[in-house]
Amino acid sequence: MSIRLGLHRRTGPGVGARSVLAGAVVATLLFGTTAANAGPGSATRADDLDGLRGLAAKRGLLIGSAVYNPPLLGDARYRALLAREFSAVSPGNVMKWDTVEPERGMVDLTAADHMMRFASGHRQIVRGHTLVWHNQLPYWLTQKTWSDADLATILEKHVKEEAAKFRGRVYAWDVINEPFNEDGTWRETIWYKALGPGYVAKALQWAHEADPRAKLYLNDYNLEWNTAKADAMYALVSDLRERGVPVHGVGFQGHLGIQYDYPAPVIDHLRRFTGLGLDVAITEADVRMPLPVTDAKLATQADYFGRLLSACLAVRRCVSFTIWGLSDAHSWVPGVFAGQGAATPYDHDLRPKPAYAELREALRHRVAGSER
């Protein structure tokens, strides 16, 4: 599971480019793989067109899932579900720094390449996650004292090398992950302390130099409801765009919990960023609940999932909706929130829950006030 600390409630391209993406989704992803590549669960049969992948393609939306453990791709049922229902995948952990460079100068992309091959074989888009974060850093980096100049050099090398390794194969990168505290102040990470707030612009520029065609995102949690954090992100991306720094989108992680009210401001917050000419995406959606599971809790969860997806569908430049963990068996939630879990649309046995049906319904129906 993804190790995530300090969370509160777990937690571009122009219009023409957006239209091109939508067309590509409909024309290519709707039908999944070619017959030559088709395997169990490939989205090629007519009955698959009524699943999440087929319905999302008709709406010009990428529908994704995080993949935590690439060896699970050897499990026929897991592989079939991932291929049939999703047009995009995000690496849960295997592109994070501690995995790709566990020892300094020794890059290991074995797990990431495994996932990339699966995605390529099933015509799935890959969202890279993540280049710069304050967690899951390699031991060799965190257990030594470095000068600010050393850290700048190390970070530049990492961003450029990893982005270059996947050049042309990753549709978008979460270049910066979780830069702000809940009150909108800068999170004082190792990178902020060494380079100040300028580390964001530097990392974006380095990533762009390494892979000029990749869409570059800033990604954070609670942006869907926390005005202070959303304001800070808005001010940052506004400044970056004014200075010509390459930034193309903002990721709203979308970690919700049924014990909290549904975040009503989410559509307004999404549209605020698209007003800057940016794409937005729901990047890590899940809806956790206090255990044990009950029918009433599942109904509330389904409602939250449906409303979150509908919010994305209502915004023209909300380009993707990604569920964070394929099923409850692959969710990070129980390991971080004691007594909570069951956060995904599929149960531990990969059976669809009411949330799955609600997601399909959201994709079938035009949202009132929708821009698409």
266-316 pLDDT per residue, tens: 999 999 999 999 999 999 999 999 999 999 999 999 999 999 999 999 999
In angstroms, the Cα distances linking 163 to 112, 157, 202, 317, 326 are 13, 10, 14, 24, 25
**Catalytic: which of 85, 178, 224, 358?**
178
Q: What is the spatial distance between Cα 85 and Cα 352, in angstroms, rounded to a whole number? A: 11
Look at residue 114 and tell me if it is in a domain.
Answer: yes
How many domains is the chain built from? 1
CATH number of the domain at 104, please: 3.20.20.80
Token pair for 146: 């470095």
Look at residue 8 and tell me if it is in a domain.
Answer: no
Q: Which domain holds residue 320?
A: 15-364
Average pLDDT, the chain: 89
Look at residue 261 and tell me if it is in a domain.
Answer: yes
Look at residue 71 and tell me if it is in a domain.
Answer: yes
Look at residue 2 and tell me if it is in a domain.
Answer: no
**Catalytic: which of 162, 224, 284, 358?**
284
Q: What is the spatial distance between Cα 221 and Cα 31, in angstroms, rounded to a whole number? A: 33
Q: What is the spatial distance between Cα 351 and Cα 81, in angstroms, rounded to a whole number? A: 10
Token pair for 279: 């794409």
pLDDT > 90? residue 14 = no
Determine contact, residues 161/107, Cβ cutoff 8 Å: yes
Regarding beta strands 279-290 and 340-341, do their DSSP bridges make them parallel or antiparallel, or are they unpaired? antiparallel
Q: What is the pLDDT of residues 24-42, one digit of tens each?
A: 443 444 444 332 233 333 3
284 assigned to active site: yes
Look at residue 342 and tell me if it is in a domain.
Answer: yes
Size of the chain in residues? 372
Look at residue 5 and tell me if it is in a domain.
Answer: no
What confidence score (pLDDT) does residue 368 get?
Answer: 60
Token pair for 236: 């940052």
Look at residue 369 and tell me if it is in a domain.
Answer: no
